[in-house]
Structures are given as structure tokens and as C-alpha cells.
Amino acid sequence: MMSGMATLSTTARSGRRPQAAEYVDVLIVGAGISGIGSAYHLTRQCPGMSFVVLEAQESFGGTWHTHRYPGARSDSDLYTFGYRFKPWIGNPIATAAEIRAYLSEVIDENDLAGRIRYGHRIVSAAWSSDDNLWTVEAVRTDTGETVQIAAGFLWMCQGYYRHTEGYTPDWDGQDRFGGRIVHPQTWPDDLDLSGKRVVVVGSGATAATLVPSIAADCAHVTLLQRSPTYYISARNQNDLADTLRTLEVKEEWIHEIVRRKILYDQGAFTRRCFDEPDVVKQELLAGVRVHLGPDYDIGTHFTPRYRPWRQRIGFVPNGDLFQGIASGRASVVTDEIERFTKTGIELKSGATIDADVVITATGFNLNVLGDIAFVIDGKPLTFSDTVTYRGMMFTGVPNLAWVFGYFRASWTLRVDLIADFVCRLLNHMEVKGADKVEVALRPEDRGMPLSLWMDAEDFNPGYLMRGMHLLPQRGEAPEWRHTQNYWAEKDELPAIDLDDPVFVYGWTEDRRHAVNE
């Protein structure tokens, strides 16, 4: 974007923005993998625009700063979970510490540190159509001071769950339990599991990571699950990347080649999960049987009731979860909790499990737009009343884009795609002289049936089902839904016509006069 356009933008708005507020062209919410990636793309694709990143926590990383439980790691490979612009060098499945180091390099290499303000918890965001501006109020967590910033555009990169607390069901008798109950999201520094009988409740990626990480220290660890999850076990190594490095191929080339190969294989696997789910199911179960042997009750403990990819498939690097079970240090119980007792857990089957520590790896609390109080022209925003445009913009919500990644592919793939779209949209607005854009149903869209944001028959993890009523609606037309299909969106999003009637542009009077001059 031309620097003159940026000057025009600031000058045109300067007379109308609140006197007490600092002004930026773009405010990015969150300094996790989405916010850092978006900031990078903004500096490259819209170099004349002013922006700031507000982060509630005391450091960058988002998920990878919040989660400090033993063994915390990505369950997506870093060739696709990493950015397309930053080669990943290391094992495909990375620890939280390795991911934070990677993000730190991105910040340092691209001079982003000065753009990020930590310890700023946003409490409200108010849109004014008179000014075509957002006014954001944040509280500094160190001093309690309220900070106000006016922004032309909000880029929501805060993630999808509440970082301050995880989800724990309200089981009967929890107050009677004589041991300790811990959620992995708020892992205490003083927790010592040495010699303890530990129960990990859950069956997702967190549980599968925790069990092998703590098994060697505990007297015994039991994975207690209400229902099983599908897992894929493989070496934490990429043979293609290793071969290319042996051939002394440049890391930038290795990153791109391996990334494309992984995405090709993932796309083929995802299609097979829909086209031949029973075949894929047997393949996944056979992989578990290799580690646990023919006599293990895989039917009870590792055979889900749903088809593959209706929920996320866990990745078990080097079979570590299964090794812990085979060694006897860990065991799996598939049952439901009836109540807690003083010494452990009583199950609905009547069996009991003695425990000193219970770890509730039971999921997240869905976070909708950062738990921020949004107001548009004095009226509180009810997010569930809006209709999503491709899962990134919303009817009736001007100058705002939301980053929500993929379930069946790496989250970061959509970070890059949405960044390209937002930067293109911002530059297009400058060319048009517009300082407002929102999406609206076209005449042909009005009257189309609306439904919940995600089809439960397609994808139905618990955290999503619990919070579905909070999310926007989707329509039948492809533009009005979040498809969760990277392999389609990688071609569709770059081809969006920004002059399609779905985009409604606007101008303040000051802006209109400045443009005309």
C-alpha cells in the first residue's frame, strides 16, 4: 500500500477520532500464532499502515504460553502448523517450548516486538458509524489502568477458547475428594506426582500427551475416558525432509516441498474418511493393535462410536501412549463418572478407581470474540444473530475479521490465507477511498435457510457443541459458511471478488472530502 494512502487515511479520520484515544489503522487482538502471523503479513503486504497487537497475557504464544503441563506439544506437524514464510527445522511434532522458540524467532527476525503490548486485556469494543471507527478499551493487568485505542479495523486473533480457565464438568462429590483436582490448562507449579496414583480424565490430545509424559513418575496413571478417540501412531520424523537435507537442499525449499507433500497426503486421507470410513477405521485400529497386541481389548478402549474425522484424530508420536500402556505403568478405563469419593472415583459400572490426583483433561470453554463486550452504534452485539461470511466476517459487523483455523488441517494454514484476504481487503479499501466495509446478504441470499455454525454430523467435539449457541449462523450458499476445507479454500479465498455485492463499502464525510480533494 502506498504511504500517501496511509497518510490520507490518518488525516481524514483525525478530526473525528476520540481525543483521549491513540489511533491505529489496524488493531490485532492476540499475540499467539494467529496474531504474530497476521502482524507479519500486515508489515509485508500493507507496509504503510499503523498497527498494534494487544495481548492479555504477559508474553507471546497464546496456547503455547498458556499450556505448561508436562509434555505439552502440537498434535499437528510443524511443516504445516508453522508459517509458510518461516521454514521449520526439527521434528514434525514439536513441544510447546520449541514452538515458543519458533515464534520468538519470527518476532525478532521481523522486528515485531515493538508492535506488541502485553498485559492488555480488552474489555470492550465500540463501533461508531459516525466516525467509522472502533474504540477499544483495555485494562493493563499490571496497573489496572484503562487504555483506550481507536482503530480503523479489528483483526481478531484471540483463538477459540478461554485461557483463564479450562472446562471441568460438575461431578457429584468433588468437594469430598481428599486428593487434588487439576485442569491441565492451569497446571500448578507445585504439583508433584512422584509415587502418586493419578487419574487423567479425557480422551483427547491433552490426555494422550499427559499420560506418557507422567507415567514414569507416578505409581500408576489411569486414563479414564467416557468414549474412545481415534489415534494415528507414527515416528516423529519426516523421511522426505531428512532425505532433502542429506542432499543439502535449501531449508526454504525443504519446507515448501515437505509442506506440499503433507498437505497432499492429508487431503487424500480426509477424503477417504468420508468415502470409505469403515476401511479407514480398520486401518486406524490395526495401527493401535500393532503396539498393544491381539489380546488387548481394543474394541472397548480404542474403537470410537463415530466415523473417522467426525472428531479430531490424535497423533501419538513414536507410539508413546501405547508404550506406556503396554509397559503396565498406564492403563485405560472406559466408563463414566458416577461420583467422587474421599479416596477416588466411583464409576457408573460400580467399579472404583483410587486416586491421589485427578487431572481433568476435559476440554475448553469456548471463547467467542475474546469475551469482549462488543457494541455497534450503541447496541450490544449478539454474535449468534449474525451470519458468517466464510467463517471470517459477519453480517452487521463492520471493519472486523476473525481468524478461526481448521479442525482437519493445521490451524496456521488458515492464518496465512485469511491474512492474504484481509491485507488485500485493506488495500482495496484504500484504493476505493473507503473507510468502512461490512458483509451483507445479497438479494439472492435473502430467505435462504440458516442453521448452526457447524453441522454436528460433520464435526462435533464437545467444546464446540457446548458453545454452538454462541456462534454465528451459517447459510446454504458456500459463501455463508465455514467449510473447514483447506484444500478448497486455498483456491477460493484468493479468488474472492472484493467488488462482489456481498461487500458493502462506506465513507465518513471527512473521508469523502479528503478523497475528493
Q: Tell me: the pLDDT tens digits for 203-240?
A: 888 999 999 999 999 999 999 999 999 999 999 999 99
Q: Tell me: the pLDDT tens digits for 380-414?
A: 999 999 999 999 999 999 999 999 988 888 999 99
What pLDDT, on a 0 to 100 scale, did the predictor assign at position 312?
84
Q: Would you list the domain boundaries of the chain?
A: 3-163+367-516, 174-360
Cβ contacts of 358 within 8 Å, gap of 6 or more: 177, 179, 180, 181, 182, 198, 199, 201, 340, 345
Q: Tell me: the pLDDT tens digits for 167-215?
A: 899 999 999 999 999 999 999 999 999 999 999 999 888 999 999 999 9
Give alpha helix (H) positions in 94-150.
96-109
How do 146-156 and 352-354 pair as beta strands? unpaired
Cβ contacts of 459 within 8 Å, gap of 6 or more: 309, 310, 311, 407, 408, 484
Mean pLDDT (whole number) for 46-73: 95
Q: Tell me: the pLDDT tens digits for 462-502?
A: 777 787 888 899 999 999 998 888 999 999 999 999 999 99
Q: Please tell me if the domain spanning 3-163+367-516 has the same topology as the one spanning 174-360.
A: yes
Q: Which of 116, 114, 121 lies closest to 32 in space, CA to CA?
A: 116
What pLDDT, on a 0 to 100 scale, did the predictor assign at position 348?
97
Q: Tell me: the pLDDT tens digits for 257-315?
A: 999 999 999 999 999 999 999 999 999 999 999 999 999 999 999 999 889 988 888 89
Where b means 16+ CB within 10 Å and e means fewer, 484-497 reads bebbebbeebeebe
What pLDDT, on a 0 to 100 scale, did the predictor assign at position 180?
96
Q: Is 158 exposed, middle or buried (0-12, 13-18, 19+ CB in 10 A)?
A: buried
| pLDDT at residue 514 tops 70 | no
The span from the CA of 66 to the CA of 69, in Å, is 9
What pLDDT, on a 0 to 100 scale, did the predictor assign at position 469?
84
What pLDDT, on a 0 to 100 scale, did the predictor assign at position 511?
54
Q: Are 66 and 57 in contact (CB under 8 A)?
A: yes
What pLDDT, on a 0 to 100 scale, did the predictor assign at position 422?
98
Architecture (CATH level 2) of domain 3-163+367-516: 3-Layer(bba) Sandwich (3.50)
Where b means 16+ CB within 10 Å and e means fewer, 381-393 reads bebeebbbbbbbb
Q: Would you place residue 456 in the very low, low, confident or very high pLDDT band (cuts 50, 70, 90)? A: confident
Stated pTM of the model: 0.92
Task: Return the CATH superfamily for domain 174-360.
Answer: FAD/NAD(P)-binding domain (3.50.50.60)
